[in-house]
Amino acid sequence: MYLVVSCPRCGNYSVVRDTAKTHQCPYCGYVMRIEEAAVIAKARNGREAREIVLKLKTPKELRRPQ
């Protein structure tokens, strides 16, 4: 299982395995403890988690209706 988390320092989203204890933000380098991170979503696999991140980063005006 994968988690989509939000960095408490810069606010960007990243993907981390649910078994990890810590995660380094790929954008600002901040090392966060997963238990204290804001978990935005859970995904079954890495591809699904990445799709969630892309959807979160896409402005609402540009999203395709589902």
Enumerate domains of the chain plus CATH numbers.
Answer: 2-62 (3.90.820)
- Indicate if the pLDDT at residue 66 is higher than 90: no
Contact 47, 58 (CB under 8 A): no
Rounded to a whole number of angstroms, the distance between the first and last alpha carbons of the chain is 25
Contact 4, 50 (CB under 8 A): no
Q: What is the pTM of this model?
A: 0.83
User: Taking the CA of residue 41 as centre, how many other CA atoms within 13 Å lie in the half-sphere pointing to its CB?
Assistant: 17
The model's pLDDT over 2-30, given as tens digits with 9 standing for 90+, comes to 999 999 999 999 999 999 999 999 999 99
pLDDT of res. 65: 62
pLDDT, mean of residues 39-61: 91
Q: Which region holds residue 22: left if phi is over 0, alpha if psi is between -120 and 50, else beta?
A: beta
pLDDT of res. 58: 84
Q: Give the model's confidence band at 64: pLDDT under 50 very low, under 70 low, under 90 confident, else very high.
A: low
Contact 5, 16 (CB under 8 A): yes
